[in-house]
Structure 1
Amino acid sequence: MTKVIVAGFTGAMGQKAVHLVEETEGYELVAGFAGGLTSLNPADYNLPATVKVFDDLDQIETDADIWIDFTLPSAVYANTKFAIEHGIHPVIGTTGLTDAQVAELQQLASAKQLGGLIAPNFGMSAVLLMKFAQEAAKYFPDVEIIEMHHDNKADAPSGTALSTAKLIDEVRPEHEQGNPDETESLAGVRGGDYHGIHIHAVRLPGYVAHEQVLFGGPGEALTIRQDSFDRQSFMTGVKVAMDHVESLHELVVGLENVL
């Protein structure tokens, strides 16, 4: 039986992860972690009495094999480091880690010979969008990204959009995109800039998680879009990560690494 702790278990994604673990044969939920709790009684969260509840990282004592994280950008680095240092395979769905933090965590995991996964997105459609966008960028180097999320999302741009830009940047021919004399009459109207790739973040109620990548060329254009209408769709990817993370020997970024 593989034992799992869910960090951020009281949130929307955390709750779905809890249900996934509870409903999946071969896995056992042994602990839940979230900051700012008013009670540490598992019954108050409709959890079995055997599940330990923690609200302080330093107080966690668990024999969990896998750490599933759906918390906050401000907490994810410390959480992931804690998991690695305690020999727990991290499955990280929280965005907000910097490149430097990821590199440091990868070094730590390598020293421990511990496998883990950081997934900018667990949606299969999003993973495929990134794969297709990277392929298209070889032929359409002029590109912009629009990502749309619910208005409670804490970080911008989304981890998926930033990962998409990084994958595109790996393959697209080096060139100057757009008008070199361009000016903004409204500051920031052209969005964020990742190595010349503009990223635009939309935050509105009613949205869940959506992204489109727009490519332009002489006389033609290509748009690749994915839509996640329900958070339950992400659980397919979480299940894939759970099934494969213990066989990894390093901390990898991207669900495509275990597909």
Structure 2
Amino acid sequence: MDFGVKGKIVVVTGGATGIGRAIAEAFHGEGAIVIINGRNQDKLDKACAELGQNAHGVVADLLTAEGAQTLADFAAGFGPVDYLVNNIGIFDVNDFFEVSDSRWTEYFEHNLMTAIRISRIVLKDMLARNLGSVCFISSEGAIRSIGNMTPYSVTKTAMLGLGRSLAELTRGTNVRVTNYMPGSTATESVQRYFEGLAKEQGKSVDDTLRDFYKEVQPSNLRRSLIDPAMHGRGVVQLMTNTAMNGVTHRADGGTIHSII
């Protein structure tokens, strides 16, 4: 299927690894010009070399307004941004009563403000041109609130609200804003987490995952981690479907008990 993105400019924040990398790869495979950012030039260079000749990376820290402008200016050098994927985020397992104010601030800065800063620039230009698509990569944790990951869940819930609010600004235009909500995915960071948990529990990774789905996510229908490539495909489909605006697309493996 031709998604009509050949030659289009796509920005994927934090696109060197994980789900962001899979999204960048999916767009690149469809012929798009893909821009990724990060804080390590070597990692960006390696990722771009692996993605292909139409992938370009720039060191730009979206924890600052200056970094967001650097990314926007770099992307503008290739042309107007057609697709913006807000993918940057952090997570860890923690005790709510032990999470400091400064750690809460870090969560809001990484999981929300990075997206706000770049969207404030790029979405404004899209509205002026009357064309474009923005997607926020949230998480099943936004709906299935997780007690031992409270800052993560709260900030991902806020992201859903942000995406819907910005979609309201597109009324009557050819600009769209959507949310994408993945479930537990076999990214490098998630795999490291389960490897560490397995070592701590004295079990194999397979046994640890089996027990995870039995005890922590018994409602999960897949009973396995999701291949990041599936999210890459899903985001391309979502962002190119002109019937989809202001919506949240679930890709959680059936964990959440809901028919919508």
- Equivalent residues in 2 for 1:230-249 (5 A)? 230-244=227-241, 246-249=242-245
Find out whether 1:253 has 2:241 as its counterpart.
no
Contact between 1:148 and 1:211, CA under 8 Å: does it hold in 2? no
- Percent identity reads 10
Distance 1:213 1:241 in 2: 32
Structure 2: unaligned runs, 5 residues or longer: 1-5, 61-67, 91-106, 124-131, 140-151, 194-203, 252-259
3-state SS of 1:8 partner: coil
The residue number in structure 1 matching 2:161 is 103
* Counterpart residue type for residue 91 of structure 1: C
TM-superposed deviation, 1:253: 1.8
Find out whether 1:152 has 2:189 as its counterpart.
yes
Distance 2:135 2:214 in 1: 26
Select the residue among 7, 18, 25 that pairs with 2:13.
7
Select the residue among 106, 119, 140 that pairs with 1:83.
119
Deviations along 1:104-130, one digit per CA (max 9) or x if unpaired, are 442233124442222222xxxx6xxxx
TM-superposed deviation, 1:15: 2.7
- Equivalent residues in 2 for 1:32-71 (5 A)? 32-38=36-42, 45-46=49-50, 51-56=55-60, 57-60=68-71, 61=73, 62=75, 63-71=80-88
Distance 2:12 2:162 in 1: 23
Deviations along 1:121-178, one digit per CA (max 9) or x if unpaired, are 2xxxx6xxxxxxxxxxxxxxxxxxxx79779349x9xxxxxxxxxxxxxxxxxxxxxx
Deviations along 1:209-241, one digit per CA (max 9) or x if unpaired, are x856999xxxxxx96521335333333322322
TM-superposed deviation, 1:59: 0.6
* Counterpart residue type for residue 38 of structure 2: A
The residue number in structure 2 matching 1:225 is 221
Distance 1:148 1:18 in 2: 16
* Counterpart residue type for residue 116 of structure 1: V
The residue number in structure 2 matching 1:93 is 137
Number of aligned residue pairs: 174
Contact between 2:10 and 2:34, CA under 8 Å: does it hold in 1? yes
Shift of the 120–55 alpha-carbon distance from structure 1 to 2, 3 Å rule, reads same
Which has more helix, going by share of residues?
Answer: 2
Which has more strand, going by share of residues?
Answer: 1
Select the residue among 176, 185, 189 that pairs with 1:115.
176
3-state SS of 1:33 partner: strand
3-state SS of 2:32 partner: strand
* Counterpart residue type for residue 225 of structure 1: L
Distance 2:34 2:187 in 1: 31
TM-superposed deviation, 1:28: 0.9
Contact between 1:89 and 1:115, CA under 8 Å: does it hold in 2? yes
Structure 1: unaligned runs, 5 residues or longer: 127-146, 157-203, 216-221
3-state SS of 1:228 partner: coil
Moved more, 103-112 or 55-64: 103-112
Distance 1:231 1:77 in 2: 22
Moved more, 1-10 or 225-234: 225-234
* Counterpart residue type for residue 77 of structure 1: L
Moved over 6 A (4+): 147-151, 212-215
Contact between 2:138 and 2:156, CA under 8 Å: does it hold in 1? no
TM-score by length of 1: 0.50
TM-score by length of 2: 0.50
